[in-house]
Amino acid sequence: MKKVFRFLAIFALATSTLMAATSDASFPSQWKSFDTVTTPLSTIGALPGCDADVSSLPVIYQETVAMYCAVKPGGPGAVEILVSDKNAFKARTGKYKDDTFFVLHLKDLKVLFVTQWKNNKPLYGIYTQTGQDAANVVGSGLNPQDCKQCHTGYQAFCINGQCATLQVK
């Protein structure tokens, strides 16, 4: 019987470790000093609500709305886009210096979706405004793997982790 309990304890610990999620990107402690950039999304000022008809938009936008609706029923509300390097954001070359950060700030939720580059590779993270890691399980919309799936899965719109309205040519 002791062996069964020991096995269950080890299994529970292993399962909880696999279920625990952490961000891959670092918390950008200087995020409040980053430049705000204007994009179609930031011009609207909010992600569409979960009841919005987005069927005429490209699939990447439809799935983005669905993902963020998983984060908060009704939709996450007001957003802004902040960048540590405005020129890198605008150039959209796919080449970024280490510790370049792009942040989607979900203002109403007080959450930061962070993309950080290391060795010209994008890393993803989800943090509260105060720096607490808010990453959750895969599929929750609050997991670095969920970010990576979209940011690498739509090559017509995303280049090395940066997604935009303009298609990559």
Taking only the tens place, the pLDDT of each residue in 35-74 is: 999 876 666 677 777 888 888 877 777 877 777 787 777 7
Nearest to 162 by CA among 91, 63, 68: 91
Sole residue written with tokens 């017509």: 156
Q: Nearest-5° angle of CA 48, CA 104, CA 147?
A: 90
Instruction: Check: CB of residue 146 under 8 Å from CB of residue 67.
Output: yes
- The pLDDT-based confidence of 167 (bands split at 50, 70, 90) is low
What is the pTM (predicted TM-score) of this model?
0.77
DSSP state of 76: -
Query: Which residues have a Cβ under 8 Å from the Cβ of 109 and sit 6 or more positions away?
Result: 71, 72, 76, 77
pLDDT in tens, 80-126: 999 999 999 988 888 999 999 999 998 888 989 999 999 999 999 99
Bigger pLDDT: 79 vs 125: 125
Cβ atoms within 10 A of the Cβ of 43, count?
7
pLDDT in tens, 2-14: 443 333 333 333 3
H helix count then E strand count, the chain: 5, 7
Sole residue written with tokens 């080890």: 10
